[in-house]
Amino acid sequence: MKNEKLKHIKSTGFKAPNDYFESFDEKIFSKLNTESQLDSIKETGFKVPDGYFDSFNDEIFNQKESKVIQLFSKRNLIYVSSIAAAVILLFNLSILDSKPTFDNLDTETVENYIIDENITSYEIASLLTDEHIDKDITIEHNFNEDSIEAYLIDNADIESLMIE
């Protein structure tokens, strides 16, 4: 409700007095030229004891030595060396060596990955170079009639072969 009333306001609500900007410079320079109240103050309000600076050097040299904390203490050295040993141990463990390589991948794992990731044959073909394709095409398969006949008897449906 309050925001709706703001839409109808035409003026900002701020007004400057008449002839404010014309006489502004004159007013500032007149204030600067007159003597201010700060110029009439002679004392600061702070007092130093008598003879303070005369005995100041003696007091500093007579002070007791303060406790010095060493940067490379035995405790800090133990913390840093234990963290470094933990990092080195982590990199040398066999946990990092258990990453799968292409040599120990199962065919089933690769097939499941291709199925789950919905990789198309075009994407696989784009990864192959002409050398790979030529190498695979030139592989000669020697099939004899007995092995083809045995395969068809075991795996093929006679009715589907006759329809096609």
> Domain locations in the chain?
102-163
SS3 118: coil
Is the C-alpha dihedral spanning 88, 94, 96, 102 positive or negative? Answer: positive
CA–CA dist 40, 26 (Å, integer): 24
pLDDT tens for each residue of the chain, 164 residues long: 567 777 777 777 788 888 888 888 888 888 777 766 667 777 778 888 888 888 888 878 888 777 777 777 888 889 999 999 998 888 877 665 566 677 777 888 888 888 888 888 788 778 777 777 766 565 667 788 888 888 888 877 777 667 65
